[in-house]
Each structure stands twice: as structure tokens, then as C-alpha cells.
Structure 1
Amino acid sequence: MHANLMLLVTAAIWGFAFVAQRVAMDHMGPFSFNGVRFLLGAASLLPLIWFFSRKKAVATTTAAKTSVWLAGGVAGTILFIAAALQQVGLLYTTAAKAGFITGLYMILVPFLGLFLRHVTGLNAWLGAGIALIGLYLLSINADFTMSKGDFLMFIGAIFWACHILWIDFIGRRVNALQLSAVQFLSCGVLSMLVAFRLETPSLSSVFLAWESVLFASFISVGVAYTLQVIAQKKAKPTHAAIIMSMEAVFAAMGGVMFLNESLPMRGWIGCALMMTGMLLSQIPLPRLNRVTN
């Protein structure tokens, strides 16, 4: 129960982070915000790395097999693309839509995993079908087009899924906290490089958006990541995935409560179907045993 509650708090933090991400862009460009956010997020993990290193709580027997800088650099590059698409997409869509469309990564992971010879169950196929119907109701217009923001969110969901697959592949070979710090550092540096090219970053804009920046970096990255690491050591994987899918619900709640966002009934039905599909994809269906004489 303690682990599940910690995961629920994590999902709430990440869901409400969509609100912070939208509010911050009243003062900052999307790449400037991501740069500051992930650089501060990387810094927030340094005390944890130092603490666990002293306590020797993280096993290091397999850490030497792969360079954490190489693994984190690849992870950070994928994270940079996913976060950039999400942050730019938020300029053109609502936090509620962003949360649900981003949540599609839970369904995309098993399908992209087919290319890596992962096994995909019937529940994933059923969940994907229901979620696609929900996405149609939520995002497809009467002329069968998708808004720019929703399209960017959907492409971003593909990269979030790729990021999870890479972390799953490389995570056993390196120290988890070090990997996270390096990937956040890589993502932050890439974001700032683009920001200086396309935007005009300034300390004054960071101070104007300080509440959103602090929440998105220290709370969303530092606190939420720590809770996830601690909780997932005790929570069952299926339970963890289902609870974490509540991020989309909290994003919708945050959009309604803090940004005065609204969706038509068609959109809410679409959200409900997408949530149903995401949950179904995480719940193994019972096997039917053949009756033999």
C-alpha cells in the first residue's frame, strides 16, 4: 500500500507538471524551459547519487559493462526529442489533451517492442484498438485532420515509448541514478543549444517563471523520480503501470482547475476510452484452458 501510494503521488506530480509546463511558456520559450528544467533536474539527483554511493545501496557489479556517459547520452538525445515535441505541442493544445495523448506511450511500447522480438499479448491489441477510437474522438476534427499540437504530442508519445525501450535495454548495465543524471544533463544541454539558436534565453525570464521551473525540475524530476525508484522496488509491475497511467487523469484535472480548460463531451468520451485502453493494455487477460478428455 505504501508503494502504491508513492506511485500515485508520482503520477499526480507528473500530471500537474503539464500545468507548470504551459504556464512557464508565458515567459520562456519551450527549449529554454526544457534546458533549465533538465539541467536543474540533473543537479537535483547529485545528492541522491552521493547518498546511495556512500551507503553502497546501488549494486555496481554490472556498472562497468557499459559506459554510463554513452548510455545516458543516447537516452538524453531521445528524451530531448520527446520533451521538445511535448513542450512545443503545449503551445497549440491543452494540458488535458497533452496528458492523454502522451499516455499513449504505454500502448506504443509493446508494439515497438515487436521490432525487438518482444511478445505482445491480446490485451495490448484490444487496448490499442480502444485507445485509437478514443484518440479519434479526442483529437480528429470533422474534416479528418489533427491539430498541430495534438500531432506533435502523438509523435512525442512514439519517442517516449522509444525512450522507455532504451532504458529497459540499457538500465541493467549501468547505475540507474547515474544514468538518469547523465540523460537529464544531455537533454538539458541539447535544449539550451537549440534555445540559444532559436530563442532568447535570459535569467529574467527564468525568474518570472520561477514557480513553474522549480516544480518542473526539483519536484517533477527530483522528488517524483525518487518516489518512483523507491516504490517500484516493492510494487508489482502491473500495479505500477496502472497507477502511473493516472498521470493523464491528473493532467486533465490540472488543466480544468488551474488553466480553466474545457473539453466537449466528445473529447471527454475520447479521454475515457483512451484511459480504458491504457489500463486494458496493462492487465493480462486470463488464459482459457482447453478441456481435454
Structure 2
Amino acid sequence: MNETRTARLATVVLLAMTAMWGSTFFLIKDLSERISALDFLAVRFPIATVALLLIFPKALGRLSAQSRRQAVVLGVLYAGAQVLQTVGLAHTAASVSGFITGLYVVCTPLLAAVLLRTRIGRLTWVAVAMAIGGIALLTLQPGGLAFGYGEGITLIAALIYALHIVGLGAWSNADEAMGMAIVQLAVISAVCFLGAVPNGITLPDNGRDWLSIVYMALGAGAFAMAGQTWAQAHLPPTRSAIIMSMEPVFAAVFAVLAGGEHLTARLLSGGLLVFAAMLVVELMPRRKIEAEVTHIAV
């Protein structure tokens, strides 16, 4: 498979993964009425870890010592972002949390430029601005954005998500992608479990909730982490971030189709703007928008 076809496949994988993420929002909202977010994370990620390990039992053995260390760092980053986003969500509106989390689209090229010394083209910045504008339309409610404790914690989460994207883009390679995904999931599981244990872990008490958790563990957990790790071995970090900014678009689609929400002009225009941003980075001239990234040792 040539480089162009591989990049297109990686884009499709990222979109599928982002759709999985988007499909979980209304499920998480429903689950949160009965199970705390940390308890949910402490159950979800171990299931995802075991599932991926059973599917790829030899993947860990193919990892080099350096890749294991890098995967641990990436897992800690992702887990930290998940926990901070969850804590922040308890102190701010879900719509505001969604917008601030989406700021990783802006943080990613900035961090890539500083840490990896990549050159970000003007057209890419245009796409970043379009994506943020679309996310704002999709998530922010009338009344604007008030910035307090919850918003500050969520902004730190967005910055850490961007670090994870940049690090994955620098360190991931196709041959070790599954092994790195398993290590990341295992580290995320450990961090979330330690965060939930002090207050005790509440397990679902009905089959419907377990079905939701298993779906999110396998689809938005195991598949998503494996897909993101593999896809980012073939795509620059900023391009990956813009593609993943489709998450609130998919969240809105599933909320309308399965969550009972109404399709409004604001949702439609925001979704089209984010989609247009993705098209900009996908259809721009096939040239090096970002400089070649060298792997960083940890």
C-alpha cells in the first residue's frame, strides 16, 4: 500500500474512532445518573485492556523497551486528561466542557511547533480556526463562556490531550501500534482505578448499563485506542487533531438520532463548519504541511 492510500485509510480509521467517541455522549449522560464518572472509567478501561490483549496476545512481546516507556508516558497523559475532564465537568456545563476540551485542536499545532519543531502552514491554521468555530456553535449555549475553576481544570485537560496527540504522532509506529495501545490502556486502567478506589467502586446493577459499558469499553476504548495509535503513525499530529474535532459533530448526530434531541440550525451550521475544516486538511495540495517528525526518546 502506497503512502497516499495508507494516509487515506488512517483518516478513515480516525473518523470511525471519532464516531465511536461521539456515540458515547448520550450513553455517558444516562449512566452518570446511576454511576459516578470515575467508577465508570475504572470499569471501562480494564475491560478494554483485556479485550485488546486477547485479540493481540503477542503484541506486547514485539515492543522495544523504549516503546514501552513511551507508551507508559502516553497512558499517564491520557488518563490524567480523562480524570481532569471528569472533575471539570462536575463544575461546569457539559456544553462548555465540550468546547474547552475541543481547544486541543489549537493546542496541538502549537505544541507540535514548539516540541517537534514542525512548520504549520497557513491553510492548516485556517482549518484549525474553522474547527474551533464549528465546535463553538455545536457546544456553547447562549450566554457566552464564564471562566472559573471547572473551566480551568478542563483547559488543562485539553492541553494534556494535545500533548498525547503530539506524543503519539512522534512515537507511534505501525509495527508496534497494538502493543503500545495495550500498554496505554493498562496504564489508564491503573490510574482510573486508583482514583476511584478511595470512595469505593459502584458497579452497574442491571444488564442495560453493563451493555452500555461493554460497548464503550470495546468500541470507544479498545478499538479507539488501537485505531488512534495506528493511524497517528501515518498522519501528522495537527491533521489528526482536526480530523478528531469531528467528535462533537458525531455526538450531535447521535444525540438527534438516538438521544431525542432536535436538529437546529446551530447544530447543522456548526457541524458543517467542522466538516469543512476536515475537508480543508484532506483536500489541500499533497505536500509536506508539517516537517518530518523525528522520534523522541524517553
TM-score normalised by the shorter chain: which range applies?
0.7 to 0.9
Q: Which residue of the partner structure matches residue 218 of structure 1? A: 218
Q: Which residue of the partner structure matches residue 85 of structure 1? A: 84
DSSP 3-state at the match of 2:35: coil
Alignment of 1:250-265 (within 5 A): 250-261=250-261, 265=265
* Mapped partners of 1:207, 1:85: distance in 2: 29
Deviates more, 1:4-13 or 1:32-41: 4-13
What value does the CA root-mean-square deviation take over the aligned residues?
Answer: 4.0
C-alpha spacing 1:20/1:149, structure 2 compared with 1 (3 Å): farther
Alignment of 1:1-293 (within 5 A): 3=9, 8-50=15-57, 60=62, 63-64=63-64, 66=66, 68=68, 70-88=69-87, 93-94=93-94, 102-116=101-115, 117-137=117-137, 138-139=139-140, 142=143, 144-145=145-146, 154-172=155-173, 175-197=176-198, 199-204=199-204, 209-225=209-225, 245-261=245-261, 265-266=265-266, 268-281=268-281, 283-284=283-284
DSSP 3-state at the match of 2:129: helix
Residue type at the aligned position of 2:189: G
Which consecutive unaligned segments of at least 5 residues does structure 1 have? 288-293
- Counting aligned pairs with the same residue, the percent is 28
* Mapped partners of 1:31, 1:97: distance in 2: 20
DSSP 3-state at the match of 1:260: coil
What is the deviation of 1:245?
Answer: 4.8
What TM-score, normalized by structure 2, do the two folds share?
0.72
Residue type at the aligned position of 2:211: E
* Mapped partners of 1:239, 1:78: distance in 2: 20
C-alpha spacing 1:267/1:228, structure 2 compared with 1 (3 Å): closer
Number of residues paired by the alignment? 276
DSSP 3-state at the match of 1:78: helix
Q: Is the 8 A contact 1:7 1:228 kept in 2?
A: yes
* Mapped partners of 1:100, 1:278: distance in 2: 17
Q: Which residue of the partner structure matches residue 290 of structure 1? A: none
* Mapped partners of 2:51, 2:222: distance in 1: 5
* Mapped partners of 2:268, 2:154: distance in 1: 18
Q: Is the 8 A contact 2:177 2:230 kept in 1?
A: no
Q: Is the 8 A contact 1:107 1:278 kept in 2?
A: no
What TM-score, normalized by structure 1, do the two folds share?
0.73
* Mapped partners of 1:81, 1:25: distance in 2: 20
* Mapped partners of 1:183, 1:236: distance in 2: 19
C-alpha spacing 1:128/1:87, structure 2 compared with 1 (3 Å): same
Pick the structure with greater CA Rg. Answer: 1
DSSP 3-state at the match of 1:202: coil
